């Protein structure tokens, strides 16, 4: 998948309440931030929208943005089918985003670690 007309500038991931927003604001400003991307994916699932297809069809919304997303891939696999589907879809979409991003940063305890 190739983004046309631009690329996602940054992907910032990390656990909940680890300082992703403050880190992003300090380094990139607030204008380009896409907050709580993981919750957008969950909302699409709850609306019975295929999140991967929806994301691919709406790439222009995310071009030249800084996407902030909680990492929900760690820990026990959820028993609830919707939560498993969410975890799988989000992981797949984040893989697509990371591949095309200029930078991927993991934030832990407010410290950004550049992965890419």
pLDDT of residue 75: 81
What is the 3-state secondary structure of 55-113? Answer: HHHCHHHCCCCEEEEECCCCCCCCCCHHHHHHHHHHHHHHHHHHHHCCEEEEEECCEEE
Mean pLDDT by 10 residues, the chain (116 residues): 59 96 96 96 97 92 93 87 94 92 95 96
pLDDT at 4: 54
Going from the C-alpha of 61 to that of each of 8, 18, 54, 75, the distances in angstroms are 10, 25, 11, 30
Entry pTM: 0.89
**Domain boundaries, given as residue ranges, for the chain:** 10-114
| pLDDT for the residue numbered 26 | 96
CATH superfamily of 10-114: P-loop containing nucleotide triphosphate hydrolases (3.40.50.300)
């Amino acid at each position: 998948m190739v983004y046309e007309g631009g690329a996602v500038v940054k992907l910032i991931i990390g656990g909940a309440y680890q300082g992703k927003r403050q880190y992003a604001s300090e380094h990139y400003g607030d204008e380009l931030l896409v907050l709580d991307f993981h919750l957008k994916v969950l909302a699409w699932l709850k609306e019975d929208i295929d999140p991967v297809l929806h994301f691919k069809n709406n790439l222009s919304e995310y071009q030249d943005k800084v996407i902030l997303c909680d990492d929900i891939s760690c820990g026990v696999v959820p028993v609830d089918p919707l939560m498993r589907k969410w975890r799988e879809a989000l992981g797949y979409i984040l893989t697509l985003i990371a591949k095309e991003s200029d930078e991927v940063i993991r934030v832990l305890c407010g410290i950004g670690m550049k992965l890419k």
